[in-house]
Structure 1
């Protein structure tokens, strides 16, 4: 691509949206991107957002935004059920797309969108920003260099923060799995995207999905609502290189460990810890110990983390857009694409199937991607 700024149009960029909280502040920190257009569900809110964020164009529909000549990259930042319609509009207009995760509301939609992008030869990206975190990239580096020797096992314990005993009005959307935003798809999905880059894909796995809370309380109304989605996710198995892996995500929060990821090797151990199981957007600390020694901080080199990194959640999107920019400028393929998103959708299907059938399943996702 040329060195001119990449024109960005954001679908779902109202003044109080997630795009306003994370996407737009991140883009402002990268001069190679220029926010040129926003769209919402009505013209008044779109114009208010455009005025607030300095965008030249405001639209009340995705079609007009996608067809705006100054838009090079369409960002889809809305709830999962509308991803298919909006991404399709952007691809039909021939525009590159960054779609938040999950890519589709289920694997069939992800397959359709990936096939459409491939048929048109369009660069695509999916918002699995944990992959671009400095911590993820540094773990890839030190494991490849043999810091802890051969990886023997890895384990993750995480809290979903949401899907707990209480919910607010905005959180009601998370209670119905038909909306595509569950404990499995959101915090577990984001974690597994980075997990695969660091320690590799599952070769085979077994799983347990359970719904332990069937009712939750809507606050502040104090109304009981049905909880329809699984609020416990357990996955165990063997990775492609032979390491044993386990993962357990719980709903809500705990007084104990809300995020703990260990990687155990023949020469030592690495531990990541934090206060939230949403690895894609929460701060974490990184520690390391040679075999037989105590844990000590494992600092990330400044060339990976930078000197003036923004705070989360902006940091996660900032790193994600930096990875997108690098891929576009240098024709590389590190940032997660629609193909990577489809791969993850199929892995989550395999986890669901393993739980439903109560047996260990092989995970031949490479073959599935070629089908």
Structure 2
């Protein structure tokens, strides 16, 4: 993707200045994913950070060679910061996003966007007139874009059904104290929100949005081991999620997602149509793991298909860096060209509405329209 026309907010350079909230010298998601992704993409540059304390900010600033600000407001107001990235735990998203929006600077917020639907709606409502992005980077992955092109181009013919089976080794197996908050349904970082939310979003980018859902949910691991301490802690997050519904055109979608499995994480996705079938699989979470595609026309055996040239500009990168590099590449072009490839806060609300509908359908035993 081209960098033509990119100009920083006030910097007069071609690169977009990025400020990250939640970047720590001790590591973590922002350090492992966002920083190397920014380093790999032309036209974007880390220029500042904000941390939870002056001491941690100073350490991070020294580690990454950028100014450390004492608040998100100061970071967002800096002349050379053109976009603020919120890369902290979900419960803190609302406060930090609203603070960044006050500076009227573009904001990228990690997914899950909010703890719940009302909070998501509030945050999106505050962003009117401001460019926003949400970290549902699965839909910008090369293989996902290619599969979308295959389906749109008629490879499977008319889509009849799509079936997803997922297994996450989290949400049931021993967990660290740092990740303990993901067990609490009220804090918004659950299996439904994180793993299911990411997966259903990239699926929806190919086959379309669900029109209504029926669902069953359960928590089959009410107690989870806390590391190797010998203690167990309560889990209220769902570790079994079964969803079905219809897509535009009448195709049927079904998903079964199970957590705390002994065999490790896995993802399989079949798209069946009148003319053929596509099978997509990953060894882990599909928005972070390499995807394999197998295809078959009617009457043939499925065979592995190779990603064509022109889709992957960052093939040498792996894991989350590969995923985030494509997201930042698309964000750069969205901001310079006025495109809308990367999902925004309104899209995040749409995704939260789906998650909310799944919970309501499972609670009431009724079909819920979207």
- Which residue matches 2:69? 59
Cα 1:309–1:302 change in 2 (3 A) is: farther
What secondary structure does 1:202 align onto? Answer: coil
Task: Write out per-residue CA displacement over residues 294-337 of structure 1, whole angstroms, 9 at most, x where no aligned residue.
Answer: 11111112200136431001111111111111211211111010
Contact 1:23 1:317 in 2 (8 A): yes
- Which residue matches 2:351? 344
- Which residue matches 2:117? 107
What secondary structure does 1:94 align onto? Answer: coil
Q: Quote the Cα distance in structure 2 between the aligned partners of 1:144 and 1:226.
A: 45
- Which residue matches 2:57? 46
What secondary structure does 2:196 align onto? Answer: helix
- Which residue matches 1:367? none
Q: Quote the Cα distance in structure 1 between the aligned partners of 2:289 and 2:240.
A: 20
**TM-score (normalizing by structure 2):** 0.94
Contact 1:159 1:254 in 2 (8 A): no
Residue 129 of structure 1: how far off its partner (Å): 0.6
- Which residue matches 1:321? 328
Of the candidates 22, 26, 31, which is equivalent to residue 42 of structure 2? Answer: 31
Please give the root-mean-square deviation of Cα atoms over the aligned residues, in Å: 1.4
Q: Quote the Cα distance in structure 2 between the aligned partners of 1:234 and 1:39.
A: 39
What secondary structure does 1:8 align onto? Answer: strand
1:161-172 aligned within 5 A:
161-172=169-180
Residue 241 of structure 1: how far off its partner (Å): 1.6
Task: Write out per-residue CA displacement over residues 180-209 of structure 1, whole angstroms, 9 at most, x where no aligned residue.
Answer: 101110011111111111001112210011
The size of the alignment, in residue pairs, is 359
Contact 1:159 1:259 in 2 (8 A): yes
- Which residue matches 1:298? 305
- Which residue matches 2:10? none
Contact 2:6 2:16 in 1 (8 A): no
Q: Quote the Cα distance in structure 2 between the aligned partners of 1:253 and 1:23.
A: 29
**TM-score (normalizing by structure 1):** 0.94
- Which residue matches 1:369? none
What secondary structure does 2:181 align onto? Answer: helix
What secondary structure does 2:124 align onto? Answer: helix
- Which residue matches 2:224? 216
What secondary structure does 2:126 align onto? Answer: helix
Q: Quote the Cα distance in structure 2 between the aligned partners of 1:133 and 1:52.
A: 30
Residue 252 of structure 1: how far off its partner (Å): 2.2
Contact 2:113 2:120 in 1 (8 A): yes
Pairing 1:73–2:83 present? yes
Task: Write out per-residue CA displacement over residues 77-97 of structure 1, whole angstroms, 9 at most, x where no aligned residue.
Answer: 000011011011110011100
Contact 2:139 2:205 in 1 (8 A): yes
Task: Write out per-residue CA displacement over residues 229-284 of structure 1, whole angstroms, 9 at most, x where no aligned residue.
Answer: 111111011111211110011002343882110001111111111222x2111222
- Which residue matches 1:205? 213
Q: Quote the Cα distance in structure 2 between the aligned partners of 1:34 and 1:123.
A: 18
Task: Write out per-residue CA displacement over residues 42-100 of structure 1, whole angstroms, 9 at most, x where no aligned residue.
Answer: 22221222222222x11232121112121110000000011011011110011100000
Q: Quote the Cα distance in structure 2 between the aligned partners of 1:165 and 1:18.
A: 21
Q: Quote the Cα distance in structure 2 between the aligned partners of 1:20 and 1:228.
A: 29
Q: Quote the Cα distance in structure 2 between the aligned partners of 1:308 and 1:315.
A: 7
1:1-371 aligned within 5 A:
2-3=6-7, 4-15=14-25, 16-55=27-66, 57-118=67-128, 121-255=129-263, 258-276=266-284, 278-306=285-313, 308-363=315-370
